[in-house]
């Protein structure tokens, strides 16, 4: 990567992350699911940012088929913890392009998420890392890692799309 | 927090087939529970495999109290209270590690991992202080059953084996033999799932065979899981009151009827060839087949250890309306191929985002809010009362969806709360 900032790429990445956030905040489940590649990994670690998800428990560690199951569960109408669905508003910022490698762009960002559900209002803060892959339809997510800053502590149910 | 009465009369609140809603909301009752249950009876704390080496330690708890579970140089497991005897500062802030001593950051007092005071800075400032009186507090009794470590704050009382009873011990015996080496290991790290609910809603739900078809309808319908059928009105599985507050959903009758090894885990022998071979070598063809058909238990060891086939939950009350479920995948020594699947399946099922537990926890929180409504005051737990019966071992059993388990929990709870 050159030291020059590629503003066009940054704008493109930014638009993609904002769109992803909008789909999540709007609980547009299948539209969000369509953003993933076939070899996708969706990872929300517990107990730190750098555990080995193959050996240690994570909050979410989904391959593509399990992402599909997660989405299908919402559409049954009996995913009780999301019926009614959480009301969500999130702010995405600190977007930084970490690496460009052929079709793939590695991106870091932060998010602050305000969730309102039957229990209470809850604020979640995350440090995210994406591996975006360029396809004919635009960027797709090959990997998304969501590090909840309080993931070493007991957490209330987190059943919306984070 | 709310307080409905200062002197609750437990006998009035717990009857044979109903309990009063205030047992879930009354702050005075919660304080009494800490005294009569959590800081008196045997409570599950951790597993020996979490501190395998000398000087290992891990942060644990009994009720709202944090503890340090240590393994001393002498190999002995101890439960230390995390409170400096000087000015009560917490001496250990790490989740786990390996160290022979703990130094309080406040004034530098140092304690061995067996609790004794090793020394304090500037000792000439103390004239008559007796060091042997100034060690870390320790849970009065610590005992282990097949690696499961329990603590009791009472100097005297039933032994751990007596507390577990024949039913509790048998469940753990059945569990460990799922390993070709006869040992469980707790090594995959815990998820900590918080719920705005009283701990007893969680305990009762663990062996409530009535709810899965409804609470978990979403995942059962799309994951082609056979679990729902185990808890139908046609199921031959039984709900069992093991006494002393311990309860189980015994699914073996269904698994034996289906008669396919590893069906309990939703798989088959062909998918786990290494495991199956090791099991046969360890137990012999016939016994191995029996173990692989029966599967692991679904048992709630009162008040806080839920062995749920493929994972364990440790239930921790923080306040009358706030609880934590600590959950991790069971790992069986000598079974790496099985263990990998256990971790994957557990991660999908439990914790804050789990396909199953996020919905259970939703129910815990809704019932906590619901029970604050004044009428009809009571929760009705009479399901299957007309058909409960004694099994061959003398335990009370009911059909798969019956509330014989809840009634057993409450009977024991009432005894504990009424005891002097």
Which CATH class name applies to B44-145?
mainly beta
Which CATH class name applies to B184-418?
alpha beta
Residue B189 pLDDT > 90 = yes
Residue B358 pLDDT > 70 = yes
- Tens of pLDDT, residues B245-255: 999 999 999 99
The pLDDT, as a whole number, for residue B1 is 46
Residue B391 pLDDT > 60 = yes
Angle at A128 between CA A127 and CA A134, to 5 degrees: 160
The pLDDT, as a whole number, for residue A105 is 98
Strand duo B110-112 + B101-103: pairing: antiparallel
* Chain B residues with CB-CB distance to A73 below 8 A: 218-219, 222, 355
Q: Please judge whether B95 and A154 are an interchain contact, meaning their C-beta atoms are less than 8 angstroms apart.
A: no
The residue ranges of every structural domain in chain A are 7-148
Q: Please judge whether B366 and A118 are an interchain contact, meaning their C-beta atoms are less than 8 angstroms apart.
A: yes
Q: Alpha-carbon distance A54 to A56, whole Å?
A: 6
Report long-range pairs for B157-165 (Cβ below 8 Å, ≥24 apart): B157/B40, B157/B41, B158/B42, B160/B42, B163/B41, B163/B42, B163/B244, B164/B42, B164/B244, B164/B246, B164/B301, B165/B242, B165/B243, B165/B244, B165/B246
Residue B213 pLDDT > 50 = yes
Q: How confident is the model at residue A5 (pLDDT cuts 50, 70, 90)?
A: confident
Helices (H), B350-403: 357-370
Residue B52 pLDDT > 70 = yes
Stretch B337-351: mean pLDDT, rounded?
97
The pLDDT, as a whole number, for residue B6 is 61
Q: Please judge whether A80 and B194 are an interchain contact, meaning their C-beta atoms are less than 8 angstroms apart.
A: no
- Tens of pLDDT, residues B77-104: 999 999 999 999 999 999 999 999 999 9
The pLDDT, as a whole number, for residue B357 is 98
Residue B2 pLDDT > 90 = no
Q: How confident is the model at residue B224 (pLDDT cuts 50, 70, 90)?
A: confident
The pLDDT, as a whole number, for residue A2 is 52
Stretch B141-145: mean pLDDT, rounded?
98
Q: Please judge whether A73 and B347 are an interchain contact, meaning their C-beta atoms are less than 8 angstroms apart.
A: no
Stretch B367-375: mean pLDDT, rounded?
96
Q: Please judge whether A46 and B95 are an interchain contact, meaning their C-beta atoms are less than 8 angstroms apart.
A: no
Nearest residue of A to residue B220, measured between CA atoms? A73
Stretch B195-224: mean pLDDT, rounded?
96
* Chain B residues with CB-CB distance to A66 below 8 A: 348
Q: What is the DSSP-derived secondary structure letter of residue B109?
A: -
What is the average pLDDT score of chain B? 96
Residue B265 pLDDT > 80 = yes
Residue A123 pLDDT > 70 = yes
Q: Which fold has domain A7-148?
A: Nuclear Transport Factor 2; Chain: A, (3.10.450)
Strand ranges in B302-370 using DSSP code E only, listed in sequence order: 305-308, 311-319, 322-329, 331-332
Q: How far apart are the CA of B389 and the nearest CA of chain A, in angstroms?
A: 34
The pLDDT, as a whole number, for residue A3 is 64
Question: Residue holding tokens 């769109």?
Answer: A19
Residue A72 pLDDT > 50 = yes
* Cβ–Cβ under 8 Å, residues B329 and A57: yes
The pLDDT, as a whole number, for residue B212 is 96
Q: Alpha-carbon distance B102 to B45, whole Å?
A: 20
Strand duo A138-148 + A36-45: pairing: parallel
Give CA torsion, residues A27, A30, A35, A41, to 10 deg: 90
Residues of chain B with CATH 3.90.380.10: 184-418
Nearest residue of A to residue B197, measured between CA atoms? A119
- Tens of pLDDT, residues B289-319: 999 999 999 999 999 999 999 999 999 999 9
The pLDDT, as a whole number, for residue B420 is 84
Q: Alpha-carbon distance B333 to B8, whole Å?
A: 47
Question: Residue holding tokens 């690496």?
Answer: A99
Judged by a CB distance cut-off of 8 A, whether residue B196 touches chain A is yes
Residues of chain B with CATH 2.102.10.10: 44-145
Nearest to A81 among B190, B340, B362 (CB): B362
What is the average pLDDT score of chain A? 97
Question: Residue A47 is encoded by which pair of tokens?
Answer: 């107990």
């Amino acid at each position: 990567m050159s030291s020059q900032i590629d503003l066009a790429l940054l704008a493109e990445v930014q638009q993609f992350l904002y769109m992803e956030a909008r789909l999540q905040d709007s609980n547009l489940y299948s539209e969000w699911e369509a953003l993933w590649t076939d070899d996708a990994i969706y990872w929300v670690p517990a107990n730190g940012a750098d555990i080995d998800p193959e050996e240690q428990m994570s909050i979410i560690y989904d391959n593509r088929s399990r992402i599909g199951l997660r989405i299908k569960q919402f559409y049954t109408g009996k995913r009780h913890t999301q019926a009614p669905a959480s009301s969500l508003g999130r702010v995405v910022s600190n977007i930084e392009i970490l690496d460009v490698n052929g079709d793939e762009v590695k991106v870091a960002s932060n998010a602050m998420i305000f969730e309102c559900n039957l229990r209470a209002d809850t604020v979640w803060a995350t440090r995210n890392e994406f591996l975006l892959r360029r396809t004919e339809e635009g960027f797709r997510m090959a990997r998304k890692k969501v590090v909840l800053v309080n993931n070493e502590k007991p957490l209330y149910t987190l059943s919306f799309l984070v | 927090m709310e307080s409905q009465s200062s002197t609750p009369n437990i006998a009035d609140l717990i009857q044979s087939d109903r309990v009063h809603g205030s047992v879930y909301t009354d702050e005075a009752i919660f304080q009494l529970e800490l005294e009569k249950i959590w800081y008196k009876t045997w409570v599950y704390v951790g597993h020996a495999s979490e501190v395998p080496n000398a000087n290992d330690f891990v942060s644990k708890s009994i009720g709202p109290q944090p503890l340090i579970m240590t393994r001393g140089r002498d190999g002995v497991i101890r439960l230390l209270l995390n409170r400096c005897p000087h000015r009560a500062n917490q001496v250990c802030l790490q989740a786990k590690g390996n160290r022979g001593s703990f130094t309080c950051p406040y004034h530098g007092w140092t304690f061995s991992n067996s609790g004794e005071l090793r020394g304090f800075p500037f000792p000439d400032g103390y004239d008559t202080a007796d060091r042997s009186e100034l060690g870390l507090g320790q849970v009065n009794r610590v005992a282990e059953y097949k690696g499961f470590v329990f603590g009791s704050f009472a100097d005297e009382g039933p032994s751990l084996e007596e507390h577990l009873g024949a039913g509790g011990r048998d469940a753990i015996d059945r569990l460990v033999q799922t390993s070709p080496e006869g040992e469980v290991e707790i090594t995959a790290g815990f998820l900590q799932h918080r719920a705005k609910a009283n701990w007893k809603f969680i305990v009762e739900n663990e062996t409530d065979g009535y709810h899965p078809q409804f609470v978990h309808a979403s995942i059962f319908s799309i994951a082609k899981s056979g679990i729902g059928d185990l808890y139908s009105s046609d199921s031959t599985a039984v709900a069992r009151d093991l006494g002393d507050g311990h309860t189980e959903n015994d699914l073996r009758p269904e698994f034996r009827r289906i008669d396919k090894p590893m069906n309990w885990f939703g798989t088959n022998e062909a998918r786990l060839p290494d495991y199956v071979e090791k099991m046969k070598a360890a137990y012999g063809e016939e016994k191995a087949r029996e173990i692989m058909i029966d599967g692991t238990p679904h048992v709630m060891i009162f008040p806080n250890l839920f062995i749920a086939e493929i994972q364990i939950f440790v239930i921790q009350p923080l306040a009358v309306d706030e609880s934590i479920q600590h959950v991790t995948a069971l790992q069986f020594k000598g079974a790496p191929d099985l263990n990998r699947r256990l971790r994957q399946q557990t991660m999908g099922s439990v914790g804050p985002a789990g396909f199953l537990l996020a919905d259970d926890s939703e129910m815990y929180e809704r019932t906590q809010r619901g029970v604050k409504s004044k009428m009809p005051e009571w929760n009705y737990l009479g399901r299957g009362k007309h058909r409960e019966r004694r099994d061959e071992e003398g335990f009370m059993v009911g059909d798969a969806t019956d509330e014989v388990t809840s009634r057993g929990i409450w009977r024991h709870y009432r005894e504990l709360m009424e005891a002097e």
